[in-house]
Amino acid sequence: MLKNIKTASWFIKNPQYIPQIFQILKRKSNSALENSGIEAVNWCKENCMDQEEALQRMVNTSKPTNLADLYPNEIKQAQMTAQNCPVKMGGEGAITFIYHLVKNSNAKKIIETGVAYGWSSLAILLAIKDDEGACLISNDMPYIKMNNDDYVGCIIPENLKFKWELQRLPDVKGIPLALKKLNNSIDFCHYDSDKSYTGRMWASPLLWKALKKGGLFVADDINDNLAFRHFCESVYRTPVIIEHLGKYVGVVVK
């Protein structure tokens, strides 16, 4: 009860995020699918491959150079900033994998959902920094009750922000707005926000519709539930899946 009161209080103080409440309530009707993690993990294990093979299949490149070797100063500074941040958020994720996907796919109009420190944002921005026509719109809703608003994307250096726009909205508002800004046509999407089955199955078709033919849809933590598998089946695509630090990332080509 106390937890629910604190959550309600947080939303009252942050009314711009109230639309997310309705998404949370919808999860109750999908309780079995929301708790399908075991089956999802087994599916990921059966279908995963190493990152080199995945990049060869996706963007015809192999033997990727680690991002920390390509940009040692930027990554070291980002690590220091994250370590000194008073709010603890998500880890680095598969940033080398994401960097090479973006870099070698020539993606220009990019959407990302979920930011936290900004690790995937940094990987994408480094990949497009020399591409005059490329840009990234990231959408992020701060963690409920964690007061991390001021630290979202904190590792992004000033010299990369000219390519970046950060929206601070729940997915139900932020994703449609970002797509509108890009004329409902994108080359690349990295989904790392609402990991619930309900949230994924709402957002994925919307993003997929705007994705150009040949564009890449990347989803993190697909082992949480069966949403990514069900989405892939709904669009008749076989995904490429990699494992990173015990979690799984899925990629689908439109």
Determine the number of helices (DSSP H) and then strands (DSSP E) in the chain.
12, 8
Confidence of residue 207 (pLDDT cuts 50, 70, 90): very high
Tens of pLDDT, residue by residue over 63-96, are 889 999 999 999 999 999 999 998 888 788 899 9
User: Lowest-confidence range among 37-51, 135-149, 173-187?
Assistant: 135-149
**Model confidence, pTM:** 0.89
Nearest to 135 by CA among 161, 115, 157, 114: 161
Contact present, 51 and 251 (Cβ < 8 Å): no
**Which own/partner contact pairs does 65-69 have at CB distance under 8 Å and 24+ positions apart?**
65/96, 66/96, 67/95, 67/96, 67/99, 67/123, 67/126, 68/96
Per-chain mean pLDDT for the chain: 90
Sheet holding 211-219, edge to edge: 48-49, 240-244, 247-253, 211-219, 186-191, 109-113, 135-139, 164-167
Domains with residue ranges and CATH for the chain? 2-253 (3.40.50.150)
With 70 as the cut, is the pLDDT of residue 192 above it?
A: yes
Query: What Rg do the C-alpha atoms of the chain give, in angstroms?
Result: 18
**For 52-57, what is the mean pLDDT?**
94
Exposed / middle / buried, residue 12 (Cβ in 10 Å: 0-12, 13-18, 19+)? exposed
User: Lowest-confidence range among 58-62, 80-84, 208-212?
Assistant: 58-62
CA 92, 23, 200, 44 torsion: positive or negative?
Answer: positive
